[in-house]
Structure 1
């Protein structure tokens, strides 16, 4: 699987801008969603190769959205990397148990993010 198109899900305009900048600079096409509901609809419509998922968002949180991806036949094949300020080891374990393929704590270090993405290729 070659990752080209990435859905960035985050309620923070600053985080969306930061992540989009890192990704576009390295040749990825970026799609944006501001919350969990948008993430599901954009993912169904755009079929990204990867999702970077925040956890703390209004409405449906990132853990819940990740579980929804796993249970949805049209989305289950899309890997999710959780990208959150919730950086405790228990949060990482919980995120992986929800179906995420990896977990990165904010503030995001570009090299670490790009390495995690390349591992999925």
Structure 2
């Protein structure tokens, strides 16, 4: 069973994503900010990460940059799950290495489809 790290600083959003991904049959790890996400990534090596883009301290882009610096974590696919819905945001995220992009609020189908796309 694949393990997914879900990162969001809004508890209701985090809970909803956990619900969707758990229903799809994945094992879940959660983090509520970027620093916690990095700690849990290095400790657990998840199969993929779903992260909010805008969070205090360290956002999704910062998480992605840190992961790309380490060969052990550079290959972990990242899904951006964010309220940013402009084409330029999507293009920038892809340029930075995001494998899939979904905007909030999202349905279970949209999130799982993005996750599966990211994991290839």
Structure 2 length-normalised TM: 0.93
Query: 2 CA distance for matches of 1:22 and 1:45?
Result: 24
| CA RMSD, Structure 1 to Structure 2 (Å) | 1.2
Length, aligned pairs only: 119
Which residue, 51, 54, 66 being the options, matches 1:53?
51
Instruction: Give ranges in structure 2 of 5+ residues lacking alignment.
Output: none
Give unpaired runs (5+ residues) of structure 1.
none
User: Once the 2 structures are TM-superposed, how far is the Cα of residue 21 of structure 1 from its aligned partner?
Assistant: 0.3
Counterpart of 1:115 in 2: which secondary structure? Answer: helix
**Distance in 1 between residues matched to 2:47 and 2:78, nearest whole Å:** 9
Aligned twin of 1:11: 9
Give the structure-1-normalised TM-score.
0.93
Match of 2:90 in 1: 92
Q: d(CA) in 1 for partners of 2:102 and 2:70?
A: 24
1:75-115 CA-partner distances (Å, limit 9, x unpaired): 11110010001111111111111111111110011111112
Specify the SS of the correspondent of 1:45.
Answer: helix
Deviation at 1:65, TM superposition (A): 1.1
Kept in 1: contact 2:5–2:30 (CA 8 A) = yes
Distance 1:55 1:108 in 2: 14
- Matched position secondary structure for 1:6: strand
Question: SS at 1:81's partner residue?
Answer: strand
